[in-house]
Structure formats: C-alpha cells, structure tokens
Amino acid sequence: MANRSCIIRLSRYKNALNRLKTLNFVRVFSDNLADAAGVTAAQVRKDFSLFGITGNRRGGYKVDELSDQLNKILGKDQLQEVVVIGMGNIGKALFHYGGLEKSGIKVAAGFDIDPVKFDRDSSQPVLPLEGLVDFVRGHNIVLGVIAVPDYAAQQVLELMLSAGIRGVLNFAPICLKAPEGCIVNNINLESELENLIYFVNALEDGK
C-alpha cells in the first residue's frame, strides 16, 4: 500500500494534468509533473511504478490515459458521496462548496442537532443527526466530514462508525484516533495557522 505522502503527490499530479489538458497538451513528461508537484522527475516515475504506470522515455505519457489511470487509483472514476456532520461555519462552507463535484465528490447530505438548520425536502438535505445511520446505510456512503465542536467529535465519530463510515475528515479542534477499519484525517486550522505564523516569523528573523 502506498503511503500518505505518495497519495498526496498523485493528487498533485492529477491536478497538474487537468491544468495541462486545458492548455491542449496531448503528452506530458515526468519533468512537467515534477515541477508542478515540487519533486524530482525520478520521484514521479517511482510513484507511478508503484501502480504499474509506465511511460515512454521519448514520448512521455499520454495526458488522457494518465489522467484516467490516476482518477481510478484515487477513486475519482466514479462519483463519491460524502456526508457532513455539523452545519456551523466550516460545515456550511463545505456543504455549499460547488467545486467538489468537479473532482467527483458529491455532498449527499448534512446533519445537525439544531432544528432551525434542518431542510429535509431539498435535493441536498440537512437532516437531524439521529437520522444519520439510516441515511448512510441507505445510500451506501463510506465517507464523512466532522465539523462539530471538540466536545462532540468523539461521539459523532462513534455514530459514523456504527453507520458504516470508513473514511473521516475531521475539522473539530481535537485529534481523533482512527479505530481499526477506519481512516481519520485530522485537520486543525488553528494549528496549521500557528505553524504558518511561526515559520513566517522565522523567515523575518533570519533576514
């Protein structure tokens, strides 16, 4: 199994390919993708070799074929549905972000405990949290986003697991541990900004 860094790079290669396609590129070389991902051409070829992707030393890779292969590896060859738990600021922003569908991701529904936020009749409904299990099982959804306060995150994770969710993107400001059979990616915006502030200040101090 490829490590997380490799998968992140594959996603960058895919995004670079999409840009090159808009510029009418028909073929691409590992050097082109290396520049876009900030790695070496040798790293690109090594990443591709893990998945049996081969190019031609002189002709490079056909853009359409490579794009299809990367989409298949990344699960983008078919629409992936996801649910968002928590309709606060972050949850609402993700819920209404239209750019996800361009990447083959559809937000199927949102869930909350506040009746004021419910919208049951919409094609993209916001439903009571107690309806999560039935909805997820009925739509065979395996991906979910947690955007609730830290004190509720663990309970929400357990509810998602009981529903059959196997991949979780956690925006709650608490690090949730991935139980067996589930992948949890923790994204703490405050920590990320603190890291950014530190390194920006370090650049200033180094001048």
pLDDT tens digit string along 63-105? 989 988 988 888 766 778 999 999 999 999 999 988 787 777 8
pLDDT tens, position by position, 34-58: 887 888 999 999 999 989 898 877 7
89 is in an annotated binding site: yes
Better pLDDT: 203 or 26: 26
Structure tokens given for 136: 């997820």
Distance CA 61, CA 175 (A): 40
Is 87 annotated in some ligand binding site? yes
> Is residue 60 domain-shared with residue 136, that is, in the same domain?
no
Residue 108 backbone dihedrals phi, psi, to 5 degrees: -75, -35
Instruction: Report residue 172 as tokens.
Output: 């709650």
**What CATH number does residue 58 fall under?**
1.10.10.10
86 is in an annotated binding site: yes
User: Does 47 share its domain with 65?
Assistant: yes
Tell me, yes or no, whether 86 and 187 share the same domain: yes
Would you state the pLDDT for residue 82? 95
The DSSP-derived string for 122-143 is SSS-EEEGGGHHHHHHHHT--E
User: Is 160 annotated as ligand-binding?
Assistant: no
Q: Where are the alpha helices (DSSP H) in 1-108?
A: 4-22, 30-37, 41-50, 63-73, 89-96
**Is 181 a known ligand-binding residue?**
no
pTM over 0.85: no
53 is in an annotated binding site: no
The CATH number of whichever domain residue 148 belongs to comes to: 3.40.50.720
Identify the three-state secondary structure at position 76: coil
Instruction: Write out the residue range of the structural domain in which residue 63 sits.
Output: 4-73
